[in-house]
Structure 1
Amino acid sequence: MNFIITKQKIDNINIFNIIDKQTNLNSILVKKNNLYFNLYILNYLTVNLGKNNLFLSLILNNKFKSFYILFIKLIKNLLETNTIYTKELYIEGIGYFFKKDPIKKQILILNIGKTHNIKIKLPKYINFKIINNGTYLILTGTNKELINLIASKIKSIKPPEIYKGKGIYFSYEKINKKLINKSKKS
């Protein structure tokens, strides 16, 4: 199985194949728009850089075909240019809100009903905007994996409760509340 990315998709992008001889790790470093993205490759896949092409081939045929398809999609996501990805979160609960630190602009403050506020330092390539009186957070950036990772980490701080409905949700997510049975014993 071979996969080829031609020169048309890799204009204005520098791609480097890095091989560590001590640990036998293979990685691809992609530089686009003064941003660096690193992707570690499994040992069952080989990457060859040609003058106008990038070749990805599978050493063992059937066992690792799903990983092969995964890495094709990851490389395509890295090479897509001028794509801005967004992830939207909202918070629900009395006194729960997102806030931007007024002094350090890349710090997100969460008030989720604990005795102290939780501060999260975001990478400088991730932009965020808070709307709707601090209950709605929009994360934007060019790295899809990093945005999904940060959004899931923020959500894991206060996941939605199934009985009260409080917590941090994705914008597309809807959780059905469970009913509490109140039965009288006589």
Structure 2
Amino acid sequence: MTQRVELATVIDRLAIDALITEYAVTVDDGDWDAYRQLFVPEGRADYRSAGGIEGGAAEVAAWLAETMRMFPMRQHLVVNRRLEFGALEGDVGDTARVQADYVNPMRFADNTGDSDASTEPDFVCGGRYAFSLLRTPGGWRLRAVAVREKWRRGPHHPDKRPLF
């Protein structure tokens, strides 16, 4: 590789890393408008393995907005990011895939509506994300996000239904 190609790759890696971080922050902060902006217009997300839905970014953002109300405290820690560049129509580097592990401690809303009653998480889950990205004129955007929940620790529900 030439120095110029290596520098471009580093710049792309930093931009993709920032996008993945922004994804986690928008979910944690409940910024659903910003969440939708992270995706290409036809972008999709799949949360079925965690008891959620699969659909277009706008549909999933609306679902998350409703579902995440039960967790006023949440913090996605996205680690062990593995990045692979692909090609679109012969132009190397127009697509990328990221596989990243996550740990997500959250706190249920209490019955009084006081989210500050305790700061200790009472629900924690973990798994792996699969991100598919596309280089656009506006920068890197998400084409698809798939959540593969591997484990969870939290209150036991006698009927063993998913929490959401």
TM-score if structure 1 supplies the norm length? 0.23
Q: Greater CA radius of gyration, 1 or 2?
A: 1
Greater RCO structure (CA 8 Å; 6+ sep): 2
If each structure's strand is expressed as a fraction of its own residues, which one has the higher value? 2
TM-score if structure 2 supplies the norm length? 0.25
If each structure's helix is expressed as a fraction of its own residues, which one has the higher value? 2
